[in-house]
Amino acid sequence: MEYIEIHFGEDFDRSSKGEKSSHDMFQSMNPMFCLTKRLWKPQMDILETRSEIIIQAEIAGVEKEDISIEVTNKAVKISGTRCRTPPDAPATYRLAEIQFGPFERILYLPSLIDTENVKASFSNGFLELVLAKLPVQKPQKIELS
C-alpha cells in the first residue's frame, strides 16, 4: 500500500492570502490572458459530521507523487502540479479549457481537528481527507475563595 505524504505544522505561509492582482483576476476568467504561470484551483467539497470533517477534491490527471498535503488543527493546505502531456504530432489547439500546472488550496476548517487522526485516499482522480474533530471541551467551573 502506498501512502500520500501529509505534513503537519503550526501555520501556513500567508503569502497566498491577500489582494488579487489584475493578472490573477483575468487568469481565472480566461486562460488566454495568462501565458506564463497558471495557478488553478481544483473544485472541492467539505462535509461535516458530528465527529469528523471530510474534504473531497477533484484533481484528475494529477499523480499521487505530485500531491502535497499540510495539516494544522485549523486548516488544510492541498497543493501539487498537473503536468501536460504534449501531443504526439504537431497540433493547433482549437479549444484549451483543461488547466495544467501548479495548484494550491488552503481550506480553513469550521472546527478544530485532531492532527494525529487524519486519513487520506486517492482514487479515480478524487482525493479524500477524513479529519477527526477534537472534542469540544466543557467549561470548567471555578469556585471563588
The CATH code of domain 6-13+24-84+98-133 reads: 2.60.40.790
Q: Is 65 exposed, middle or buried (0-12, 13-18, 19+ CB in 10 A)?
A: exposed
Domain residue extents for the chain? 6-13+24-84+98-133
Q: Which residue intervals of the chain are DSSP H helices?
A: 22-29
At 80-136, the pLDDT tens digits run 999 988 777 888 888 888 888 999 999 999 999 999 999 999 999 999 999 999 988
Q: pTM of this prediction?
A: 0.69
Q: Show the cell assigned to 83.
A: 503536468
At 4-47, the pLDDT tens digits run 666 666 666 554 444 455 444 444 444 444 444 557 889 999 99
At 42-84, the pLDDT tens digits run 999 999 999 999 999 999 999 999 999 999 999 999 999 999 8
